[in-house]
Structure 1
Amino acid sequence: MPDKHIRVVLPGLLMAMLLAMLDNVIVGTAMPRIVGDLGGVDHLSWVVTAYVLGATVSTPIWGKLGDLYGRKTVFLTSIVLFLLGSVLCGFAQDMPQLIGFRAFQGLGSGGLMVGAMAVLGDLVPPRERGRYQGQFAAVMAVAMVGGPLVGGFITDHADWRWAFFVNLPLGGAALVLLALRLDLPKRRTEHRIDWFGAALLSAGVTALVLITTWGGNQYAWGSAQILGLAALAVVSLAVFVVVERRHPEPILPLGIFRNRNFSLVSGVGFLVGFAMFGAITFLPLYQQIVQGASATNSGLLLLPMMGGLLVTSLLVGRMITKTGKYRIYPVIGGLVMILAMVLLSRLDADTSKLESGIYMTVLGLGMGFLMQTSMLIAQNSVELKDLGVASSTATFARSIGGAFGVAAFGAIFNHRLHDLLADRVGPQAADRLSGGGGGGATIGPATLGALPAQVRTAVVDSIAGATSSVFLWAVAATVLVPLLAVFIREVALRGGPETAQERAESTLVAQEG
C-alpha cells in the first residue's frame, strides 16, 4: 500500500492496540473503588482473571477468522465487541455481572492486538515493517506509564465506572477511522469453520489459565481441582492436535510449526513472556513497599524501561529496513535480557531509584531487540494466507508464557517472602503478614505504616529479598532465549530485493514449511 494510505490508517491501528494494553492497568488501579461500591472482595481476582481468560482463549480464533473472512471485517468486529463490553462493565450492578461482562470484553480484546499486527502485515511488506516498530513500542510505553496515571486520576476524582467508559472515545475514533479509510484486498474463499477445534482449544487454554491463576493461591498445586484442570488441559489439547491434522480449515494449522523459524520464534516468544512479564509483575510492589513510591508514581518509575524499549525498537526497525537482516537482533536481545535479570537480582532495601532505573533501562533495551522483531520473523515465516494465524500464535505464545511466568514466579516470591519473614519475625507473624496461614496477606502500602518499626524494617527487607530471588530465577529462563535465537535462519524479508542465495534459502525454508 502507498505510504500515504498507511499514514492515514496507522493511528487507528495504534489506538486499537492502546485500548487492549491500557484497559487492564486502568481497571487494576480502580479496583479498590470498585470493590468498595459493589462489594464481593472474595471475587476480586476474577475481575482480572475473566478478562485475561477471554482474551487468551479468543486470540488464536480471531487470527484464523481474519484469514478466512477478511482482516478488516473481523478487526472492526473485535473493536465493537470490546467497546460493547466496556459499556456493559460500566453499567454493572454487582460483582457477578462485572465478572461476566469482563469476560465478554476480553473476547473483544483478544482481537485488538492480533488484528492490528495482522492488518499492518497486510499493508506493509516485512522488509519495510521495521520502520513502524518504534511507533508500536511507543504505544506500549504510553500504556505502561499512562495506565496508572489515568487509573489513579479516575480513582481519585471520578466514578470508577469511567475506568470503562474512558475506552469509548478512543475506541470510537479508531472504529470510525478504520471503517472509512482502511482498504484491504478482498479475497473470496470457501469456508468451513473448525468449531470443534476452536472448542477444544478454548477448553485447553481455559484450563491452563485457571491452573496458573489458582495454583498455589486459591488451591494447592496438588489439589484435586488443579490436577483435574491439568488432566482437562492435556486431554483437550491432545484431541485438538488430532482434529487439526484432519480438518480442511484448521483453526490453528499445525503445518506452520514445521517451519523452523516460526517454531523457534514462538519458543522465544514464550520464554520472553515467561521471564519478562512474570518477573516485572513484582516491580511495582518493590517500588511501593521498599522504595516508598505511590501507586501512580510506580508507573512513572517504569519509564526508564519503556525508554530503553523505545530507543532500541526505533534503531532496530531502521536497521532491518535498511539491510534486510534480522537474525542477530533476537540473539543480542536475549543476551541483554540476561544481563538485565542479573542486575535486577541485585535489588535490595538500599538500592536507589537511580540504580534500579538503570537496571530497568537495560531490560528495556533487551526487550526492544525482541518484541517487534519476533513478530516480524513469525509473519515472514508463513504464507500470506496464514498471516493472521501467525500473528495470533506469536501473541498467544507470549501470553501463555507470561501466564506461566506469573504463576511460577508468584510461587517463588511467596515462598521466599515467607521464609525471610520467618527468620526475622518468627513463623506465626510471617504467616499473618504473608498470608501463609490462610488468612490473607496483610502487607500493603496502606498497612505498612501501621506496623511497628522493627516489623516494618523486616517487611521491607523481606520484600526486597523475595523480589531479588524472582529475578535470579528469571535468569534461568532468559538464558534459553539466545540459545534458541541463534538457530534462526536468515531468510530474505518479503518486499525487498533478493539475491540468488536468498532466493535459494527462501525456497528451502518454504519446503520445510
Structure 2
Amino acid sequence: MSTTEEKRATRRKLEALSGLLLAMFCSMLSMTVVGSSMPIIVDDLGGTQTQYTWVITMTLLTTAISTPIWGKLADLVNRKVLMLVALVIFVLASAGAGASQTAEMLIFFRALQGIGGGGLQSLSQVLMADILSPRERGRYMGLFAGVMSIGLVGGPLLGGVLTDSVGWHWNFYVGIPLGVAAFIVLTKTLKIRQARPAKIRIDYIGIVLLSVAAGFLLVWISNVQSYGWISWETLYMVGISVVATTAFIIVEMRVAEPLIPMNLFRNRTFTLAVLASISIGVSMFGTSVYLAQYMQVSRGFGPTEAGLMTIPMAVGMMGSSVVIGQLVSRTGKWKRYVVLGGALMIAGTSLLSTLQYDTPLWMAGVFMFLLGAGTGMTMQNLVLVVQNASDPREIGVASSGVNFFRSVGGTTGVAVMGSVLAASMTQRLEDRAADVRSAMTELGPQGAEIADKLSGGSLPPTRDLPEPIAVIIEQVSAVAISHAFLVGVPLAVLSLIAICFLPNRELNQKNTQEQLTTSAANGAVEQTASDEDAWSNADREHPGLSEARDVALASTGAIRLPAHSKKEKDDDDG
C-alpha cells in the first residue's frame, strides 16, 4: 500500500472513530449529567424521594441489562444498522425526558434512554474491533477511556451549569445534537461488510431470564440501605434473582444461539478479565459517588466546586489511558502496563481510605490521580485483551460481557460502600452523642430539624449548617467515608491477582473483518483438501472411478479434458 493510500485509510478510520467517540460520550453523559440537578428536577415535577432514586436507578438498570443483548445482536445482524437504531432510540428518549411533565414520564424515558445508551456503549467497542486490529486498537482505546472519564466528571458540572442558566430540561436536550451528529458521521463514514448467518435465532427466553435476574438484583442493591440487609424485601428480591440466574445458565447451555455463551467462561482470558472488571467498576462508580460526598459533606464545598475537585482523577484516567494506549500499539506489549495499573488501583484505594476532614487538598488530589491512572491503564485494555483472545464470531458478546459485569460490579460496590458509610456514620454520631446534643440545644428549632435529617440517614452539605454542628458532621463523615473506601481495597487486590494470571497473548494485527475473511478462506482450503483426499482414496480403491468422474465433469463444463483423452473416448465410442 502506498503512502497516499495509507493516509487515506487512516483518515477514513479516524472519521469513523470520531462518530463512535461521540456515541460513547452521549451514553456516559446521559448517566451522569443529572447528578447535581436531581433535587431541582424532582421538586419541579412534584416527585417523591422514591421517584428521585428511580430516575437514576432506572438508567443504570436498563443500560446494564441491555448491554449483553446488544452485544449478542451485534454477532447476528448488521452492526452499523444496530448502532444507528441505538442512536435513534437515545435521541428520541432524550427528547422525551426533556419534555417530561411528571416524574413517572421522566422515569419511563430515562429507562428508554438507558436501553439506547447500553447499545452505544457496547456497539462502539465492537465496531472499533471491525475497523482496527488489536495492535492498532490500543492507541484508540485510550481515547475511549478519556471520553468516559470526561463524561463521568464533566457530566455533573455541565448539568449544574445548564440547570442554573437555561433550566433542567436541557440536561436531556443536550444529548440530542450530539446524537444527531454521531448518526450523520457514522452514516457517511462507517463502512463494514459483515457476513450474516444463514438463520438468525434470538434467545428470547435468555433475554427474559437475564432481565429478571439482573433487574431484581440491581433494584435490591439500589435500595438495600432502606430495605436492610436482613429483611423480607431482601429475601424476596435476592431469591428471585438467584432462581432466574440458575434458570438462565441452564437455558444458555442448551439453546442454539445463547445470549451469553457459557463456553466464554472456559476462556481463561475472559473469566479473569471479568473478575478484574468488577473491581474497576467499583473504582469508577463508587469513588466518583463518594468522593463528591466527601467534598460536599466533609469539606464544605458546593456541588460545582466538588465536581472540580475530582478533576485529578479524570486527568489521571484520561492521561494514562492515552499514553499507555500509544505504547501498547507501538510495542505490541500490554501485560506490564495492565499489571502496573492494577498496582496503582491498590495504592489509590488504600490512600483514599485514609482521608480525613483536614487532609490537605493537594494530597487528596494525588490519591485521586493515582486511582484514576490505574483505572485508565486497566479498563479499556481488559476489553482489548478479551477481544484479542475471542473468536471473531463472538466479538460482540465477549466485549459486552466484560462491560456488563463491570456495570453490575460497580452498582453492587456503590450499594455496599453506602451501607458501610451509613453504619460507620451512625456509630460515630453515637460516640459523640454528648457533643451533638450540646450543639443541637444551642441551635434550638433549627437543631431539631437537623437532628431529624441525621436520624433519617441524610448527610446535608455542611456549608448549609451552622458552625457548631458542621464541624462535628465534617469530622465524623470523613471517617465514615474513608471506611467506605476500604471496601475497594480487597477488590483492587483481587483485580491485580486476576490480571497477573491473564495469558500474555500477542496482539493480533488483523481487525475482526479480516480475521473472519481469513478464517472463511482457511475453512474453504481445508474443505477442498478434505474433498481431494476423499477422491484420492476412492481412486485407489476403484481405478476406473477417476476417469468416469472427469468425463462427467467435462460434460457439465466444469473442467476441460486433454485432447488425447477426448480422442480416446471418441474411439471407444466408435
State the TM-score, normalized to the length of structure 2: 0.82
User: Aligned equivalents of 1:297 and 1:453: distance in 2?
Assistant: 20
2:319 matched to which residue of 1? 311
On the 8 A contact 2:71/2:122 being kept in 1, the answer is yes
Q: Taking structure 1 as reference, are residues 432 and 299 closer, same or farther at Cα in structure 2, changes over 3 Å only?
A: closer
1:10 matched to which residue of 2? 17
2:40 matched to which residue of 1? 33
Q: Taking structure 1 as reference, are residues 259 and 433 closer, same or farther at Cα in structure 2, changes over 3 Å only?
A: farther
User: Aligned equivalents of 1:170 and 1:491: distance in 2?
Assistant: 37
Query: Which secondary structure does the structure 2 equivalent of 1:72 belong to?
Result: helix
- Which residue, 456, 474, 482 being the options, matches 2:470? 456
Instruction: Confirm or deny that 1:24 pairs with 2:38.
Output: no
Q: Taking structure 1 as reference, are residues 356 and 223 closer, same or farther at Cα in structure 2, changes over 3 Å only?
A: same
Q: Taking structure 1 as reference, are residues 434 and 319 closer, same or farther at Cα in structure 2, changes over 3 Å only?
A: farther
| Superposed counterparts of 1:295-374, under 5 Å | 295-374=303-382
- Which residue, 49, 52, 58 being the options, matches 2:60? 52
Task: For residue 454 of structure 1, report the CA deviation from its aligned partner.
Answer: 2.5
Task: For residue 149 of structure 1, report the CA deviation from its aligned partner.
Answer: 2.5
Task: For residue 450 of structure 1, report the CA deviation from its aligned partner.
Answer: 5.2
On the 8 A contact 2:421/2:481 being kept in 1, the answer is yes
Instruction: Confirm or deny that 1:197 pairs with 2:213.
Output: no
2:224 matched to which residue of 1? 215
Q: Taking structure 1 as reference, are residues 340 and 198 closer, same or farther at Cα in structure 2, changes over 3 Å only?
A: same
Give the partner amino acid of 1:482: L
Q: Taking structure 1 as reference, are residues 496 and 324 closer, same or farther at Cα in structure 2, changes over 3 Å only?
A: farther
On the 8 A contact 1:291/1:353 being kept in 2, the answer is no
Give deviations 1:182-234, integer Å, cap 9, x for gaps. Answer: 111121212010101111011100011011111122x1222212211111111
On the 8 A contact 2:34/2:156 being kept in 1, the answer is no
Task: For residue 309 of structure 1, report the CA deviation from its aligned partner.
Answer: 1.5
Task: For residue 170 of structure 1, report the CA deviation from its aligned partner.
Answer: 0.6
Q: Taking structure 1 as reference, are residues 453 and 436 closer, same or farther at Cα in structure 2, changes over 3 Å only?
A: closer
Give deviations 1:322-360, integer Å, cap 9, x for gaps. Answer: 222222222211111111112111211111221111111
2:568 matched to which residue of 1? none
1:508 matched to which residue of 2? none
Query: Which secondary structure does the structure 2 equivalent of 1:380 belong to?
Result: helix
State the TM-score, normalized to the length of structure 1: 0.92
User: Aligned equivalents of 1:49 and 1:224: distance in 2?
Assistant: 21
- Which residue, 92, 107, 117 being the options, matches 1:109? 117
Task: For residue 436 of structure 1, report the CA deviation from its aligned partner.
Answer: 6.8
User: Aligned equivalents of 2:210 and 2:411: distance in 1?
Assistant: 16
Task: For residue 293 of structure 1, report the CA deviation from its aligned partner.
Answer: 2.3
1:465 matched to which residue of 2? 479
Q: Taking structure 1 as reference, are residues 69 and 433 closer, same or farther at Cα in structure 2, changes over 3 Å only?
A: farther
Instruction: Confirm or deny that 1:424 pairs with 2:440.
Output: no
- Which residue, 216, 222, 236 being the options, matches 2:244? 236
On the 8 A contact 2:228/2:234 being kept in 1, the answer is yes
Q: CA RMSD, aligned part only?
A: 2.0
> How many residues of Structure 1 are paired with residues of Structure 2 in the alignment?
492
Q: Percent identity?
A: 38
Q: Taking structure 1 as reference, are residues 433 and 26 closer, same or farther at Cα in structure 2, changes over 3 Å only?
A: farther
1:510 matched to which residue of 2? none
Query: Which secondary structure does the structure 2 equivalent of 1:482 belong to?
Result: helix
Q: Taking structure 1 as reference, are residues 451 and 91 closer, same or farther at Cα in structure 2, changes over 3 Å only?
A: closer
1:502 matched to which residue of 2? none
Q: Taking structure 1 as reference, are residues 423 and 432 closer, same or farther at Cα in structure 2, changes over 3 Å only?
A: farther
Give the partner amino acid of 1:470: A
Give deviations 1:449-476, integer Å, cap 9, x for gaps. Answer: 4544332111000111111112223212
Instruction: Confirm or deny that 1:444 pairs with 2:460.
Output: yes
User: Aligned equivalents of 1:81 and 1:433: distance in 2?
Assistant: 45
Q: Taking structure 1 as reference, are residues 75 and 453 closer, same or farther at Cα in structure 2, changes over 3 Å only?
A: same
Give deviations 1:138-163, integer Å, cap 9, x for gaps. Answer: 21232133212211111111121111
On the 8 A contact 1:278/1:404 being kept in 2, the answer is no
User: Aligned equivalents of 1:144 and 1:299: distance in 2?
Assistant: 10
User: Aligned equivalents of 2:369 and 2:19: distance in 1?
Assistant: 29
Q: Taking structure 1 as reference, are residues 238 and 198 closer, same or farther at Cα in structure 2, changes over 3 Å only?
A: same
On the 8 A contact 1:329/1:373 being kept in 2, the answer is no
On the 8 A contact 1:418/1:434 being kept in 2, the answer is no
Q: Compare CA radii of gyration and give the structure with the larger one.
A: 2
User: Aligned equivalents of 2:341 and 2:502: distance in 1?
Assistant: 14
- For structure 2, the 5+ residue unaligned runs are 1-5, 441-447, 512-574
Task: For residue 281 of structure 1, report the CA deviation from its aligned partner.
Answer: 1.7
Q: Taking structure 1 as reference, are residues 118 and 271 closer, same or farther at Cα in structure 2, changes over 3 Å only?
A: same
Give deviations 1:467-496, integer Å, cap 9, x for gaps. Answer: 111222321211111111111111121117
On the 8 A contact 1:330/1:373 being kept in 2, the answer is yes
2:570 matched to which residue of 1? none
On the 8 A contact 1:432/1:440 being kept in 2, the answer is no
Query: Which secondary structure does the structure 2 equivalent of 1:24 belong to?
Result: helix
| Superposed counterparts of 1:405-420, under 5 Å | 405-420=413-428
User: Aligned equivalents of 1:475 and 1:188: distance in 2?
Assistant: 45
Q: Taking structure 1 as reference, are residues 436 and 451 closer, same or farther at Cα in structure 2, changes over 3 Å only?
A: closer
